[in-house]
Amino acid sequence: MILTALALGLALLCAASPCLGLGSGGTGVSVSSVVTEAFFNGIKSQAGGNGCEGKNFYTRSAFVSAADSFPDFAHGGTEAEGRREIAAFFAHVTYETGYFCYINQINGNSQVSCALSSQWPCALGKKYYGRGPLQISWNFNYGPAGQSIGFDLLGNPDKVAQDPVISFKTALWLWMNNAHKVMPQGFGATIRAFDGGLVCDGKYPAAVNMRVGYYKEYCKQFAVDPGNNITC
């Protein structure tokens, strides 16, 4: 996942002062009441067999604990908007992890994942390939994410694949700094926020359709209309 210079600037701004993307003044929804054990484990149950490292790593309790550190998640708008945001988050997570199967990017150790940066310099011998529910990658994401959640992810990026709470915190950090603010524009805007240059505008329709399918299914489970503009 690569942030443009503009997106990175917005990310740093939001890290310093949380960005609200939903309608102002709304209480949203109780995240823990929507994300039940049945819902969470229903996703995991669709993962592959014993080779899925994430099945014994990702837990609902870790997600709820991480979400407590992001009080604006699923808040700031109506209850329906809150439910849609949770559905959208888990739609992207399901796509990125294969139903919570993957913790680490496939063949990630062989990928170039360090960009020259005076602010977020790469630590010697460390790799910044995709890890976690939204596959955080690159030093310029690990650095500010770690600063925001209070852990040195530049010095120890492997922690994202070792601690499920930190793992979910990185995913929620990415979400709040990229997708939360565009949720009022529809689910399609969240796809564009993360991978628009790669999959939108007919470039990779299968990837778009998979995410839209997950989103619609989770909205159905949450008894909420998916809203408009769900594709990109």
| Known active-site residue 53 | no
Helix (H, G, I), strand (E, B) or coil at 82: helix
Other beta carbons within 10 angstroms of residue 64's beta carbon come to 15
Domain count for the chain, please give it.
1
Range of the domain at 216: 5-221
Task: Determine contact, residues 90/43, Cβ cutoff 8 Å.
Answer: yes
Residue 213 makes CB contacts below 8 A (sequence gap 6+) with: none
Q: Is residue 226 part of a domain?
A: no
- On whether residue 107 sits in a domain, the answer given is yes
CA 97/CA 102 separation, integer angstroms: 5
Contacts by 43-52 with C-beta closer than 8 Å and gap 24+?
Answer: 43/90, 43/94, 43/99, 43/100, 44/99, 44/100, 45/99, 46/99, 47/98, 47/99, 47/100, 47/101, 48/98, 48/99, 48/101, 52/98, 52/100, 52/101, 52/102
Contact 157, 24 (CB under 8 A): no
Place of tokens 């740093």: 12
pLDDT in tens, the chain (232 residues): 434 333 333 333 343 333 334 544 578 899 999 999 999 999 999 998 778 999 999 999 999 999 999 999 999 999 999 999 999 999 999 999 999 999 999 887 767 789 999 999 999 999 999 999 999 999 999 999 999 999 999 999 999 999 999 999 999 999 999 999 999 999 999 999 999 999 999 999 999 999 999 999 999 999 999 999 999 9
Specify the 3-state DSSP secondary structure of 53: helix
Q: State pTM to two decimals.
A: 0.88
Query: Quick check: 84 and 224 in contact, CB under 8 A?
Result: yes
- Whether 229 is covered by a domain: the verdict is no
At residue 48, the pLDDT reads: 82
pLDDT in tens, 92-109: 999 999 999 999 998 877
Whether residue 232 is contained in a domain is answered as no
Give the whole-angstrom CA distance, residue 148 versus residue 133: 17
Residue 230 within a domain: no
Assigned domain for 189 exists: yes
- Residue 76 has what DSSP assignment? B
Given 37, 53, 79, 96, the catalytic residue: 96
Q: Is residue 211 part of a domain?
A: yes
With a CB cutoff of 8 Å and minimum separation 6, the contacts of 221 are 39, 42, 87
Average pLDDT across the chain, whole number: 89
Burial bucket for residue 172 (CB in 10 Å: 0-12, 13-18, 19+): buried
CATH number at residue 202: 1.10.530.10
